[in-house]
Structure formats: structure tokens, C-alpha cells
A and B are shown apart, each in its own frame.
Chain A
């Protein structure tokens, strides 16, 4: 365990662990410092300058995300430092001059939120002339999941650092120089023609909604009915995910899957292509919606639950009477819940006296 000591932030004592950054200690103590480029999963970059604070003994403001704690350190945030406040007002205004604004002059809301909008609402912004930065998009990118909106990018490089440090496929990178710098790919190819595995981590980490999911781009966070935390139904890692539910044509549907915050769950906020994007099956037109029994004509017919259950029970009881419980097999499913697997065992053993129960766990 690392050495622990206290530092002072805005006049309050804050517990800090040797080696960590000021921002982490402050966050743990519930002190708000705005950031755009910070993601717990990534190495500090100090790129966005939003989190600058005053540190006693330092002539310049320092990025709290990349400034290590030291015993007795005295730190001031925008709460107690006029200088930090002024810095933030100017910086957010500069960002906004190079950002798509809504009718009220605020950074636009996106389906993935917009951290710059939240931050701007905390500041006394100045009205600056718009910068027409020539950042390129990738209009020819045919991938069906991820889109890049350059007019919302603040070049914090969270997406490209995630792609390098966590997913380690390096499909996207900062390309170009100066005001033309953008989030690009090799030869500005579409993501399907790169090493991208469509994990969507770039969407999850993007603070301003410059990278978002294409599928339900028009549904803003405030239009959601709810977010439901659940466990992914694909592989055995057990990633936690939030099902975003909204009304579409009056019917509640899962319109998006988003990551829980980093540090909270076993997957640390990471998801893969299947968990994040392959949810169309939920509402697919091929879903079976009625119980069916095979009648004398050899075809399956939709019937009521009562009729289907009676038919099924009679069929199984007949086999049990004729051939005994050892001639029956009960195949449970690793796709179903623990409770359901328990019940399949109970149905086999208690209702039919058969020990022939197994799941695809065997294979």
C-alpha cells in the first residue's frame, strides 16, 4: 500500500496517496475540477488544460491530472482562485469558438452528452468570433456503428489514446497539423478497412459527443425513459452495461448500450463490439412471439399458453409412463439465468424423476 498523507485543496485537508495525481485525490474528496481529456483508464495527458490549478510554489498553473501530490501541498481550484477562474472562462470560450453551438450559444447537446456544454454552464463565457477550423471528417466511412463529427471535437485525444493504450489496435490517431489536426485513420480510410475492431471505446471515452453511435443519434439523453444496469449476454467475462430505453413509436425499446463509469465494474467501463453494438436481435422481427404446437398436419400452429402447456405436459408424461425417466433428456442453457438453470434441474429431478439434466456448459 502506498504511503498516505494530506494535502490542502481549497483550504480543506484531502487524503492523498504517494504517486497519484492531484486530480484523483481531489475527486475522491468530492472536489469538482473540470476536465475533458482525463480518463482513469489512460495515462495522464495534460492535453485539454481544463483542470489547471494553482499549486503553492509554482509560478504557472499546473494540470491537476498530471501533477503529483506531495506532503503539505497547497492547491487552489476555481472555487478559491480568481486566477484559475479567469483561465477557465477564457479557455472554455476559446473551445466554444471552435465548436458547434446551439441557439442559446451553448455547445450542442449530443446523444452521448457533451462535457464542454456542462463546463460552459459553470463559467462566465466570452463571446469570441467563430474559428472555422478545417478539421476533416471521414464522410466515406461505411461502418454502421461509429461516426465522427469534427465540429464537436476538442482534440483531447482520449479516443486515440484509448485505441492505443487499452484496445491496442491503433486504428485511429491524430493526423494533420495545426488547425487541420483531426482524428484520422491511415489514409483516412473507413474504420472497416482499418485494424479497428469496432469496440466503441472511442465513443465511450469521448467527452463532447464528437464520436457517437450512428444507430440512434437523434435520441438525446433527456429523451431516455431510463438506463438499466445489467450483465452482457455474450461471453463469460460478465461485463456490466447500461441498456438505454426510449419510446420509439410509442413502444419502449433498447435504443443504445452504454458503459458504466470506469472503476465501478469488473469491465472497468470497457465493452466489445458484441456487447456495445450487437443488440438489434432484441427487437428483431424474427422473434418467436407465440407458443406453438405441432398438430396432425405436421405443422406448427400458434396456440394459447394454456393449450401449449397442457399439450407439452401430456407429451412428456406419456414418454415418462411408456419408457421411464431414464429415457428423457433435459437440456438447460448457459445463455439463461442461474435461476432458470436451477429450475431446469428441479423440473428434471423433481417433476420427472430424471437425472438426465445438463447444459451446453459441457461443450
Chain B
């Protein structure tokens, strides 16, 4: 997030696109509800009628994958109405003429045809955003999990910069990060592009700095991203994996294909708190500690570094992941220092990355609100909102974006567009939440949301079992006429191993980020019951009592 969570309740306008906030970020949604009750206006763009749409002033129910059209049409309205922030554009940006010229093709009538959102609604939302000072945009994986995910974000960034909603409190472009430490993982350098603190991996000076600190030579080239590593596994060019805390055979796209590759690996280390699909193929399983059993930091979605504190001992011989990694590195022949505690590791991070230089465990222990990076010295207070006085990189670059449809569109054979996501009551692969009673009482089995008209033409009712097939695999789930999806679209949660949705999803990735297109793939639905109710009942029973 360029801005901060505590600002939300004071906003006057919120544009939420591709974020089912009440289910994926419930506490941020509470802040949005407080703002809404205070009188803030709320515009939601989402293909589904999510909870917030009931609460919103406008719901732009766009067709899946048409975000670039919608956002560019909003940008064109702002240009046509003369509502751009000319001063901001002049002082803080580059590439405006090119962007403005390109926007000419995004007229409202065509936008309505492509996105399915009424032109008047697009126009109203654009004008309101441009003319409200305390106006902020929130997005999450509905924007990024596309093969054109970065185009979606560039389009949103253009909208923010052309209206000057950047570098000010109560504004900005705010990505709501999905996992407890997804921000912190990249911050820390678990990415092929950067060393710790977003220092470019291909920069020889940075490489030299880390070689000196770590007393060894380091690779000079950028490595493979996650999507490419998984493709390497499938193709047999990647021969070993060390996997920490992820069940790749549930969470990565197109898992049937991936599973063949994982079987062929020469060596697989898996480090986790529970056995799962991936441990089936592991040569080594390391038992890890969970968050209540170790020390460290998580960095949340508004760049807030906060302490994780050990409350109890791990069970049996399980150990904190940081100890396992150190022990393993030393066993492999690398002289990893003997860190006494996680605080010493953080001190090394702070010494290597200027943007965290002012942060330490000791300081965090004195700061219940956490510290938001950049925080460059022990005296620096942290950064509530980014880009104050102008974009961090100097000039903000407008990037021209053009519509590219999703990689796999529905056709006669696979007529439905499938999107995947979370429900409030579960978390990712479900290894934690499916071991709790109340979360299972609320949502205990996998359901596929289907539009009434589609259900009628398929001849299925609410509660019937269907097989869902894509070009890559098939799974079963129960039909739910939720009233939330549009015709031609279906939606499923990702938490259920017995309905492992990533057997269906496509492993097409965004060319820049490597993020997979979890939000659009083509599927067909095959009714299961037809004449064999006993069999369908047995299948249903198996789904209700999964072997997790």
C-alpha cells in the first residue's frame, strides 16, 4: 500500500477493484465500513456481487479480465472532462502525451460493450474519483492474478497519477497483500529480481556488497521466478527443490502437470508444520515451528514491520524455520553465522538494506503500532504514506496499456469462465482453518457458484454435484446458486484439497511478474447425478469427510 490502513476511516471516496475485502481482509473491510457509515462513497468493481456491493453506491459488475478497458475508459472520461491534475502531471510525471494519445481509443460506448458496465456508471465513478480529494484505490488479486496483471496495475497507476492522488494522505494506490508476510518475503530478498530491500540482483555493486557481507561469491545473473521454476520442474530442467511452508501441489496452477514433474525431481526437501500433498514426494521432511512458537517479524500490507513473538515451545523435535535453514546451510558447507536469536538476523538485514536500517527488534518491542518502511535510521519515524513531495523514483512514468483478453476464453467446448478465490472462513490450502470446528461449521465443503440461468440450461439445482473440467483436469463440487456470479461465469474457493481447484487453472503467467492467471480459465460443468443418486451421495459423503 502506498498509504496506510488507519487512513481508511477518514476517506471520502473508495474505489475497490478486484478485492473481496470483507472475506480476504476482514479487518480492513471493517475500516471501510466505518468510513462508509461516516458518509464516504464506495464504488466496487468486481465480476461478482460480493458482500461490499450491497453496501456500495455503485457496483461495476465487469466481465472477467476486462479491467484494462474499464480503467482506461475511466481515464478517458477524466481527460475529456478536463479533470486531470495538470500541476501534478507537469511536475511529477513523464509519458503523459503518449498516454493521452492512447486513451483516445477507449470510448465509453465500446467500454460498455466490452466490460458490460453501463457507460453512465463508468463516467460517474471516474468523475467522482477525480473530483474527491480524499479518494483512494484498493485492489488485490482480482487485479494481479491475470496474464495481463501488470497492465491492470499500470492502468490503475495512470489513473492515480493523472488525478494527483499520490504522495498525499488519504489517497494512493493500495494493494492489499494476501498473506501475513507476503510483503515481507519480497522485502527480505526471497525473489530472483532483488537482494534484501529491493536492491537489484543484476547490479554488480549490490552483488559486491552482498559478497563482502556473506564472504562468498554470488550468482551474477537474475534467477528464475516461481512460475519459471515450476515450469522448469515440469520440463525436467529444474532437478531439485527446497520448499519451505507451501504446498506447491495445491497452491500452484495446473497441478496435474506439475505433479508429474515433482515425481521426477532428483531431490526434494519439504519443510512444514503438517504433512501435505507435496511431502508425499519429499526426500527429506523438516518439522517446522508455527508462528506461536518462534520469534521474528512479519511485514503487513501497509509496509508495517511488526514482531512475531514466541509464546510456547514447538512440539517434539520441531524447530523454527530460521534455525533449520542455518543448520542446513552449515551442513551443506556454507559458514552461516551462529545467530543467537532472530533479532541478530534482523540486524544483518538492517545493515544490508538502507530502507530498513532504522528498524530493530528492540525498537519494535517499544512500538505497538509497528514501524512502516522506509525507515532509514533509528531516529526516522517510518513512512505513513509513500511518495511525499513526488514519486520515490523521481518522475512517475505513465505506461500505455492496451487490452489483451485472458489467455483462455470460454468456447463451445468449455463455455464457462472460472475464477478462484478465498472465503472468509478459510485460508489458502486450508491446512490450518480446516482443523478448526467453527470455520468448518460455517463453510465445510467446496461449492461452485453458478448463475441460475446456467444451472437451468445444465439441468442442475442448488446442491447438485457436478464435475468441473478444464483442458488440464477435473474435480467435483456442489452447485451453489449464490446469486453472486454473472451468467457464463462460475466461482470456486481454493481451500479444499479434495476439490483441488488448481488441477483446473491455467499456468499462463504475467510476462513481467510471473503471477499466474488464477482468475480466468475456461471450464465446463458436467452434471453427476443423472440416474445414479446413490453414487452421487457417496461422492458427496466423501467430500464432507475429507482425509486432510
Chain A residues with CB under 8 Å of chain B are 142-145, 165-168, 192, 197-199, 226, 228-240, 243, 245, 252-254, 260, 264-268, 270-275, 277-284, 286-294, 300, 305, 308-313, 315-320, 322-323, 325-363
A291 to B312, CA, bound (A): 20
A-B contact pairs, 19 of them (CB 8 A): A168-B55, A237-B27, A245-B311, A252-B313, A254-B311, A286-B435, A290-B316, A294-B284, A300-B279, A316-B269, A327-B238, A330-B242, A334-B179, A339-B322, A348-B242, A350-B216, A356-B232, A358-B191, A361-B179
B223, A354: Cβ atoms under 8 Å? yes
B416 within 8 A of A: no
B325, A343: Cβ atoms under 8 Å? yes
B306 proximity list for chain A (CB < 8 A):
231, 238, 240, 266
| CB of B26, distance to nearest CB on chain A (Å) | 4
Q: A300-B282, A333-B246 are in contact. Are A197 and B26 (CB under 8 A)?
A: yes
Q: A271-B27, A339-B188, A347-B325 are in contact. Are A286 and B196 (CB under 8 A)?
A: no
The residue from A232, A236, A291, A331 contacting B287, defined by CB atoms under 8 A apart: A291
A166 proximity list for chain B (CB < 8 A):
30, 33-34
Per-residue CB contact flags for chain B residues 318-330 toward chain A (1 = under 8 Å, else 0) read 1111100111110
B368, A260: Cβ atoms under 8 Å? yes
B192, A355: Cβ atoms under 8 Å? yes
The residue from B55, B222, B273, B441 contacting A288, defined by CB atoms under 8 A apart: B273
**CB-nearest residue of chain B to A333:** B245
B226, A328: Cβ atoms under 8 Å? no
A337, B239: Cβ atoms under 8 Å? no
Q: A315-B283, A337-B184 are in contact. Are A329 and B299 (CB under 8 A)?
A: no
A334, B433: Cβ atoms under 8 Å? no
B225, A358: Cβ atoms under 8 Å? yes
| CB of B531, distance to nearest CB on chain A (Å) | 34
A329, B240: Cβ atoms under 8 Å? yes
A203 to B223, CA, bound (A): 49
| CB of A223, distance to nearest CB on chain B (Å) | 16
Per-residue CB contact flags for chain B residues 422-436 toward chain A (1 = under 8 Å, else 0) read 001101000111011
A333 to B248, CA, bound (A): 11
Q: What are the 9 closest A-B residue pairs judged by CB atoms, nearest first? A: A238-B300, A289-B316, A355-B223, A337-B296, A333-B245, A332-B190, A351-B334, A236-B177, A272-B26
A341, B308: Cβ atoms under 8 Å? no
A142 to B333, CA, bound (A): 56
Per-residue CB contact flags for chain B residues 267-302 toward chain A (1 = under 8 Å, else 0) read 101001111000100111111101111111111111
Chain B residues with CB under 8 Å of chain A are 5-6, 24-28, 30, 33-34, 37, 55, 145, 176-192, 195-196, 201, 210, 214, 216-219, 221-227, 229, 232-233, 237-246, 248, 251-253, 266-267, 269, 272-275, 279, 282-288, 290-302, 304-313, 315-322, 325-329, 331-334, 336, 342, 345-346, 348-349, 368-370, 424-425, 427, 431-433, 435-439, 441-442, 513-516, 518, 548
B188, A342: Cβ atoms under 8 Å? yes
**CB-nearest residue of chain B to A304:** B317
A168, B219: Cβ atoms under 8 Å? no
B219, A355: Cβ atoms under 8 Å? yes
A238, B301: Cβ atoms under 8 Å? yes
A199 to B253, CA, bound (A): 31
A353, B219: Cβ atoms under 8 Å? yes
B183 proximity list for chain A (CB < 8 A):
236, 361
B180, A265: Cβ atoms under 8 Å? no
B515 proximity list for chain A (CB < 8 A):
362-363
B30, A331: Cβ atoms under 8 Å? no
B34 proximity list for chain A (CB < 8 A):
165-166
Q: A309-B327, A337-B321, A356-B223 are in contact. Are A228 and B310 (CB under 8 A)?
A: yes
Q: A281-B432, A305-B317, A336-B245 are in contact. Are A313 and B214 (CB under 8 A)?
A: no
B283, A288: Cβ atoms under 8 Å? no
**CB-nearest residue of chain B to A347:** B329
The residue from B179, B284, B326, B370 contacting A312, defined by CB atoms under 8 A apart: B284
B240, A237: Cβ atoms under 8 Å? no
**CB-nearest residue of chain B to A360:** B246
B190, A357: Cβ atoms under 8 Å? yes
**CB-nearest residue of chain B to A288:** B287
B229, A165: Cβ atoms under 8 Å? no
A329, B297: Cβ atoms under 8 Å? no
A-B contact count (CB 8 A): 479
A342 proximity list for chain B (CB < 8 A):
188-190, 196, 345, 348-349
B266, A319: Cβ atoms under 8 Å? yes
**CB-nearest residue of chain A to B327:** A309
| CB of B508, distance to nearest CB on chain A (Å) | 12
Q: A239-B27, A315-B284 are in contact. Are A353 and B325 (CB under 8 A)?
A: no
**CB-nearest residue of chain A to B334:** A351
A355, B221: Cβ atoms under 8 Å? yes
B227 proximity list for chain A (CB < 8 A):
362-363
The residue from B238, B320, B370 contacting A328, defined by CB atoms under 8 A apart: B238
B248 proximity list for chain A (CB < 8 A):
331
| CB of B304, distance to nearest CB on chain A (Å) | 5
A90 to B302, CA, bound (A): 49
| CB of A270, distance to nearest CB on chain B (Å) | 5
A340 to B370, CA, bound (A): 19
A102 to B25, CA, bound (A): 41
A253 to B30, CA, bound (A): 30
| CB of B283, distance to nearest CB on chain A (Å) | 5
B239, A344: Cβ atoms under 8 Å? no
A145 proximity list for chain B (CB < 8 A):
438
A266 to B370, CA, bound (A): 8
A343, B302: Cβ atoms under 8 Å? no
| CB of B5, distance to nearest CB on chain A (Å) | 6
**CB-nearest residue of chain B to A264:** B368
| CB of A53, distance to nearest CB on chain B (Å) | 28
A349, B219: Cβ atoms under 8 Å? yes
Residue among B269, B310, B548 with the most chain A CB within 10 A?
Answer: B269
A338 to B307, CA, bound (A): 10
The residue from B196, B274, B284 contacting A311, defined by CB atoms under 8 A apart: B284
B266, A318: Cβ atoms under 8 Å? yes
B285, A335: Cβ atoms under 8 Å? no
Q: A243-B311, A308-B286 are in contact. Are A315 and B241 (CB under 8 A)?
A: no
- Can you name 10 extra interface pairs (CB under 8 A) apart from A277-B438, A281-B436? A231-B306, A233-B290, A272-B26, A278-B427, A288-B274, A293-B284, A323-B266, A334-B182, A349-B219, A361-B190
A362, B223: Cβ atoms under 8 Å? no
| CB of B221, distance to nearest CB on chain A (Å) | 6
**CB-nearest residue of chain B to A275:** B27
A282 to B314, CA, bound (A): 9
A274 proximity list for chain B (CB < 8 A):
424-425, 427, 433, 439
| CB of A303, distance to nearest CB on chain B (Å) | 9
B346, A338: Cβ atoms under 8 Å? yes
Residue among B244, B288, B346 with the most chain A CB within 10 A?
Answer: B244
**CB-nearest residue of chain B to A329:** B229
| CB of A246, distance to nearest CB on chain B (Å) | 10
A167 to B30, CA, bound (A): 6
B427 proximity list for chain A (CB < 8 A):
234-235, 274, 278
Residue among A235, A238, A339 with the most chain B CB within 10 A?
Answer: A339
A316 to B331, CA, bound (A): 11
B242, A316: Cβ atoms under 8 Å? yes
Residue among A277, A278, A316, A331 with the most chain B CB within 10 A?
Answer: A331
A352 proximity list for chain B (CB < 8 A):
332
Residue among A254, A272, A337, A352 with the most chain B CB within 10 A?
Answer: A337
The residue from B5, B180, B224, B287 contacting A231, defined by CB atoms under 8 A apart: B180
| CB of A200, distance to nearest CB on chain B (Å) | 10
B241, A236: Cβ atoms under 8 Å? no
B332, A313: Cβ atoms under 8 Å? yes
| CB of A216, distance to nearest CB on chain B (Å) | 14
B240, A338: Cβ atoms under 8 Å? no
**CB-nearest residue of chain A to B223:** A355
The residue from B287, B328, B516 contacting A313, defined by CB atoms under 8 A apart: B328
